[in-house]
Chain A
Amino acid sequence: MTDEFEPTILAFICHWGASAAADLAGVSRVQYPPNVIPITVKCSGMIDTRYVLAAFKNGADGVLIGACQKGDCHYMRGNENAAKRMGLLKEAISKLGIDPKRLKFERIAGFQSVRVSTIVKNYVNELKEIGPLELSPTVEKKFEETAKEVKEKYQESLDKAKEVDVDEA
C-alpha cells in the first residue's frame, strides 16, 4: 500500500503547552507520524481564523490547534479565547461544506509528551478516513467573509458575556 493517502496536518502549537510537550516528546523519544508540520506560536489565543483557513488553502488536510490546559495559560486566558474562537470556526467551516473534524482543538500541558503522540496518531487515522481536502474555488472565495463573520460572532459573545457581568453586578 504505497499510495495510501497520507494527510498533511498543520499544527499551531502554543510555546508553553503543546510545543513544550512536543519538545519533551522529542527528548523522551516518543514517536508519532511525521504528517504534522508544527508552527510554534507564543499563545493559542493569537491564532487568527484566517491562519487556519490559509492552512486549508495551502494544502493542509487538517489543522491542529495545540493549546495549553484549562487554567494553565501563561497569558491567563489566551487558551480560552482560542477554544471559543475555534469552536465558532468549526461551525463556520462546516457550513462551507468542510468537515469540521478537519479542525481539531486540543489542550496539551507542557509535560504531556505522550498525549502529543496519541493525538497526532489518532488525528492522522481520522483524516485518513475522511480523505484529502479538496477545496472548490467558490468555497475558497468565501474564506475571507467567513473569517470576518467568525470574528464578529466572537466579539458578540464577548459583549454578551460583559452584559451578563454587568447584570450580575
Chain B
Amino acid sequence: MEKESKIGVFVCHCGFNIAETVDIDKVVEEIKKTGDVSYCTDYEFFCSDPGQKEIERAVKEEGLTDVIVACCTPTMHESTFREAVARAGLNPYRCEIANIREQCSWVHPDKKKATAKAIRIIKSIIGKVKLNESLTSLKTPVTDKVLIVGGGIAGIQAALDVADSGHEVVLVEKEPSIGGHMIQLSKVFPTLDCAQCILTPKMVDIDRNQNISLYAYSEVEDISGYVGNFKVKIKKKPRFVDEELCTLCDKCTEVCPVTVTKEFERGLNLRKAIYIPFSQAIPSTYTLDENACLGLAPQRCDECVKVCEPNAINLDMKPEIVEEEVGAIVVATGYELYAKENLAEYGYGENLDVLDGLQFERMLFQMGSAAIPFRRPSDGKTPKDVVWVQCAGSRDPEMHLPYCSKICCMYTAKQAKLFKGIFPDANAYVFYIDVRTAGKDYEEFYQQVLEESEVIYLRGKVSKIFKEGDKTMVWGADTLTGKKIEVAADLVVLATGIIPSPDDKIVKMLNLPQGPNKFLKEAHPKLRPVETTIPGVYIAGMIQGPKDIPETVAQASGAASKAIGLVSSPELEHDPTVVRVDKELCDGCGICVDECPFDALKLTSNTVNVNDALCNGCGICTVSCPKDALQIKNFTAKQMMNMIEGGLS
C-alpha cells in the first residue's frame, strides 16, 4: 500500500553543534537528489521559534505530507516538531527525527565521514517515513487516586502533597508504624532539630487527612493494569489488635511473658511480643508479633487478652486483602544500612561495642530524652573514647559498595558533636578518607565541629578492629603524618553505607529498571529525576539513590506533583504506535499471545485481538508471528527493510 507522499527534510545546524563536523550544504544537496524527497532546506536552529515557523510554513505552502527533521536525538525534540507540524495541520505521527547530532556530529571529528554518515542516517529515516501513516492517540480514562508505597519521610511528604491538593491517596507501609528511618534519628544535621519533633506533626497529619487511606503493617501483593488504571491488591497483615478499640493503656505489655529484641532500637533494647514500636507511632496502636507470641495456634497464653479492658485484642485476626484502583504510583521504599555481617574485618557482629550509625542514633536519642545514662552495650560502662569509622563499606569497589553514600560524613560530624556536647571530657575520633560536605550550610557545620567541638579527625583507613580486654582496639594509619594509630576505644561507630531497601517486591512487580547498585533508575538522570521509564510510576527518596532529608523531601514533592499532574487529567493519551493484527493473515496459532510481556494480546474466536491500552509497541510479538500478521503501526517490517536499504545506500 504505497502512498502518495511529499516528504520535506529539514536539516538543522544546531549552531555549530552539527554544522562543525557535518557539511550541511552537502547533506542538503545529496538529500535533494533522492527521488523520494520533494523539499529540503537547512536552518541554524529549527527548534527556535522562527525555525518551527519555517517548518509550519513549508508544510502548508509546499503541501508536505511528511516531515523529517535531521537534528538532535528524538528524546530531545521529537515532541517539539510533532507539535509544530500539527499546528500546520499535519498528523503529528507523520513527523520523524533523524538523529545526526548525538549519534553523528558529536562523536565523529572527520567532517567528510561524518557528513556521509549523516546522509545515510537521513536516508534511512526517509525509508521509514515513506510508509508512515496518520495515527490518532488512544485515550483512556484516569483513576483519580495515587498509591504511595513506603511511609518514611519520602512517602509521608508525597502523600501529604497529593492529599492537600485534593486527590485521594493510598499509603502503604509494611512496618506497624509510619515514620521510616527518620523517626529513629536523634537530631538532624545541620540545624540539630530533633527528628521526632519535626516529623511527628506530619505523621499525625497523615492520620487525620480525609484524603489519605493509610494501610500500615501492610504490603502490596499485586499490581496489574497500566498508567492511569492500576489495580492494586494490598495485604493487611493481622495486628491482632483493633486499632479503633485500643486505648494505649499498655497493660498488655506488662503481662506479656515473651521478650524479644526491639527492631526500632536496632537490637539495643527489648520489647514484648505485644508492643508499640515507639510512643508516637501512627497508627497509634499496639501490634502483636505473630512470630514471638505464645498465644497463637495452638493457643498457650492469653494474658494480654485477659487484661485488655476495651477488648481490643483478637487472636483470631486473619490477613486481609484489600483492592484499590489508582492512576499513579509513587515508590518510596527507602533504604537499609549495608549489612554489618559484611564488615567482618571491623569485628561487627561479634563485638557488642561496634555499632552502626542508626544504633548510635538510638543511643543519642535515649540520652537526650529519658535521662538514661549513656552506656556501652557490652558492660554498661560510660564510654570515654569513641571512634567513628567513615566509609565503612562505602567507596570500596573491590570489597564492598563502590559508591559514596553521601550522608555519612555529615551524620558522623553530627554524632561526634552531640556526643562531645554531652561528654565534653570524652574523646571523639573520626577516621575518614575525605570529608564530603556538599549541601547548604554543611561545610560550615563541619568546620564548627572541627573547631569548637574538638573532634579529632584522622585521615586514613582503619585496617582492623578487635577486642582487647574490655577495650575495642582500632588500628589505623594517619596518612597525613604517616604514623600508625592505635586507639583503645570504648565504642566504635561504623558509618556504614546506604543500600536500597532489600525488600524489592514492588520493584519486581512493576518491572522498574535498577542501576548497577540496585537503586531505582530515573527516566533521565538529569532532566526526569522523579519519573521512571514505566509510565505512571514515580520515585522518591533513598530508593533512587543516597540522599539527605531535604533532598528526599524535595524529590517527594516533585514525585507528588508529577502524580497530581497525571491524575488531574480526566483521560490519558496513549502512544498509538501499537501492534495491529492483519485478520486476513492471522490463523489464530496463538504463539504471539505467549510472547507478549504485557498481556496485551488475546486469542478470541481463532484470531488475535489487541488491547491497545496495554500494548507498549515493543514489537516482540511481531517477530514471533509465523504469518507476518502482526505489525507495529509506523514501524512495520516493510519500513524496517526500507530503513536498512536507505541506511546502506
Contact = CB atoms under 8 A, between A and B. Distances in A.
A33 B619 CA distance: 30
Contacts of A75: 597-598, 616, 618, 620
Contacts of B622: 46, 48
Interface string A44-77: 0111101100110011100000000001101111
B261 to A, nearest CB: 35
B648 A47 contact: no
A91 B109 CA distance: 37
A30 interface: yes
B51 interface: no
A45 B618 contact: yes
A31 B513 CA distance: 27
A26 B102 contact: yes
Given A51-B641, A155-B624, A72 B513 contact: yes
Contacts of A60: 648
B103 interface: yes
Contacts of B75: 20, 23
A90 to B, nearest CB: 16
Nearest to A110: B521
Nearest to A16: B533
A58 B595 CA distance: 30
B59 interface: no
Contact of A8 (B74, B107, B598, B648): B648
Given A23-B73, A23-B103, A46-B632, A34 B110 contact: yes
A55 B648 contact: yes
A29 B103 contact: no
A83 B594 CA distance: 18
Contacts of A109: 516
Interface residues of A, number: 52
B13 interface: no
Nearest to A8: B648
B619 A54 contact: no
Nearest to B616: A75
B457 interface: no
Contacts of B644: 10, 39, 51, 54-55, 58
Nearest to B97: A40
Nearest to A53: B644
B637 A50 contact: yes
B308 to A, nearest CB: 46
B107 A43 contact: no
Interface stretch (B2-10, B116-124, B387-395): B116-124
Interface string B597-610: 11000000000000
A37 B511 contact: no
Interface string A73-117: 011111001000100000000000000000000000111000001
Contacts of B114: 34
Interface string B89-108: 00000000001011110111
B292 interface: no
Contact of B107 (A19, A25, A162): A25
Contacts of B521: 110
B570 interface: no
Given A8-B648, A10-B648, A58-B644, A38 B99 contact: yes
Contacts of B231: none
B647 A45 contact: no
A20 B75 CA distance: 9
A93 B102 CA distance: 32
A42 B645 contact: no
Contacts of B110: 34
Contacts of A29: 106-107
A32 B643 CA distance: 22
A121 B106 CA distance: 16
Nearest to A77: B597
B635 interface: yes
Interface centre among A34, A71, A74, A162 (most CB of B within 10 A): A34
Closest 8 CB pairs between A and B? A46-B619, A26-B102, A26-B106, A75-B618, A76-B597, A58-B648, A45-B620, A34-B108
15 contacts: A8-B648, A19-B103, A23-B102, A23-B103, A34-B117, A37-B124, A41-B635, A45-B619, A45-B620, A46-B618, A55-B648, A74-B533, A75-B598, A151-B626, A155-B591
Given A37-B117, A151-B623, 18 more contacts: A10-B644, A10-B647, A16-B513, A25-B107, A30-B107, A31-B109, A38-B103, A39-B644, A46-B618, A46-B620, A46-B622, A46-B623, A47-B623, A48-B622, A48-B637, A51-B641, A81-B620, A110-B521
